[in-house]
Amino acid sequence: MDGNKNRVICCFCGNALEIEDSLIVQVFTYINSSELQELYSHKDCFIKLLHKSILLHPDLLDDK
């Protein structure tokens, strides 16, 4: 990751971004699992690929 511990890879597009600028997607293998995997994403990639019927958290909505 470019030798920089503050950079992560977007799980959707494969491009690097600063961890501070990323969304963190937590994946649990099943509902009662205490183990998880964290994936990182650009906000725009996440919104673009999320089905339009899924409501977004207000923090993900553009400030207009």
- Answer whether residue 56 is part of any domain: yes
Q: What is the β-pairing status of strands 23-28 and 16-18? A: unpaired
pTM of the predicted model, to two decimals? 0.79
- Answer whether residue 39 is part of any domain: yes
What is the C-alpha to C-alpha distance for residues 7 and 1, in angstroms, rounded to an integer?
A: 6
Q: What is the CA radius of gyration of the chain?
A: 13
- Answer whether residue 20 is part of any domain: yes
13 Cβ neighbours under 8 A, 6+ residues apart: 42, 45
- Answer whether residue 24 is part of any domain: yes
Task: List the end-to-end C-alpha distance of the chain, in Å, as a whole number.
Answer: 34
What is the C-alpha to C-alpha distance for residues 6 and 19, in angstroms, rounded to an integer?
A: 5
SS3 37: strand
- Answer whether residue 26 is part of any domain: yes
Q: Render each residue's pLDDT in the chain as its tens digit; 64 residues.
A: 446 779 999 999 999 999 999 999 999 999 999 999 999 999 999 999 999 999 999 998 875 4
